[in-house]
Amino acid sequence: MSTLMKKSFDDPDEVKTPEKTHAATVNFGSVAATRIVAQPGWKWSECIKPHVGGDSCQAGHVGMVLQGTIHVVSDDGSEITVTAGDAYTFAPGHDAWVVGDEEFIAYEFNNAGKDYAVWQSN
């Protein structure tokens, strides 16, 4: 296997498009990268929860915000707002929503084969 690889988010290995969401994933062996675009009005509990169930998002997230703002509330009551230029990590057990009228664009990095991005499968 080559030590140098590239893939385009315009030709991803996987795409998920629940309401107000476009998540494109490229896989590199044991690592996956996902570009998430969430439209204004997106909220995990309204757009993703109907597909996966549960009381809150049970996926962990590590990423960085390219554009827009998202607000996250953890099951323990802690809250954070992340915006363009911020790197972040969110533990499982949270809700999140886009703040304002600008679409939210983020890139997340996870172990391939793990649940990623804005939802997990039950």
CA angle 81/12/40 to nearest 5° reads: 30
Domain residue ranges of the chain, discontinuous segments joined by +: 15-111
- Residues in CB range of 11: below 8 A, 6 or more apart: none
pTM of the model: 0.88
The β-bridge partners of 71 are 81, 97
Query: Which residues make Cβ contacts (< 8 Å) with residue 19, sequence separation at least 6?
Result: 42, 46, 47
Q: What is the pLDDT of residues 73-118, one digit of tens each?
A: 999 999 999 999 999 999 999 999 999 999 999 999 988 655 545 4
28-58 pLDDT, tens digit per residue, is 988 999 999 999 999 999 999 998 999 999 9
C-beta atoms surrounding 65 within 10 Å? 19
What is the side-by-side order of every strand in the sheet holding 79-83?
A: 79-83, 69-74, 94-98
Write out the two tokens for 81: 């707002």
CATH topology of domain 15-111: Jelly Rolls (2.60.120)
